[in-house]
Chains A and B, each alone.
Chain A
Amino acid sequence: AQSVTQLDSQVPVFEEAPVELRCNYSSSVSVYLFWYVQYPNQGLQLLLKYLSGSTLVESINGFEAEFNKSQTSFHLRKPSVHISDTAEYFCAVSDSGGYQKVTFGIGTKLQVIP
């Protein structure tokens, strides 16, 4: 069985400050890791993913996440947030099987304060 823990349900941060959204996972098999973003009343959009290779992955809008196998973590970071980053962020883990069961965390609401 696999599980995802997002340690913070809400994270307030001032505009232009750095932010880290924490995600830990557990799984007995090899996994793929994802971060999705959800704006109000919309579906989820893929932000970035880790499949293999370099443990640091980046998105086009300045977010990055680092896969740490020993700590079973996949924390999301941004060095300087904007108002437009206000949204809910979901960490997800997928197994490598054919069905690809995806388990989502409960989400972290990022509130950027002007």
Chain B
Amino acid sequence: DGGITQSPKYLFRKEGQNVTLSCEQNLNHDAMYWYRQDPGQGLRLIYYSQIVNDFQKGDIAEGYSVSREKKESFPLTVTSAQKNPTAFYLCASTTPGQGGQPQHFGDGTRLSIL
């Protein structure tokens, strides 16, 4: 079955450390997204990519970086500059440009500080 795979499910970060969250999809979707979810705040967009080798900052991009070298993959790096990284991170994908296409989500990575 097609879907989005996020790994790892749980991740711990030490002070000053960069960590990378993986997101892989086999839905042949062009657009991919990263969201951060905090209790009571809904989903906030970190980065998005509409096509390979191109990505754009979302609403809360500071302290994060991404790459999009392959259509299937959109890894997110949480850098040491992100001072409050503890959250649930969700990756999503969709087919852009067709109006009203829902986003498909992975099962998330929960990041905590050691």
Q: What residues make up the interface of A, taking CB atoms closer than 8 Å to B?
A: 9, 32, 34, 36, 41-46, 49, 51, 90, 94, 96, 98-102, 104-107
Contact = CB atoms under 8 A, between A and B. Distances in A.
Interface of B: 4, 6, 9, 31, 35, 40-43, 45, 48, 50, 90, 92, 94, 96-97, 99-108, 110
A90 B42 contact: yes
A105 B108 contact: no
Nearest to B94: A100
B42 A100 contact: no
A98 B105 contact: no
A49 B99 CA distance: 12
A41 B42 contact: no
A100 B105 contact: no
Contacts of A102: 45, 103
Contacts of B31: 99-100
A102 B104 CA distance: 12
Given A104-B42, A106-B42, A41 B96 contact: no
Given A49-B100, A49-B102, A51-B99, A90 B43 contact: yes
A99 B100 contact: no
A94 B96 CA distance: 11
B50 A99 contact: yes
A41 B40 CA distance: 15
A96 B100 contact: yes
B18 to A, nearest CB: 24
Contacts of A106: 40-42
Nearest to B48: A99
Contacts of A107: 40, 42
B43 A96 contact: no
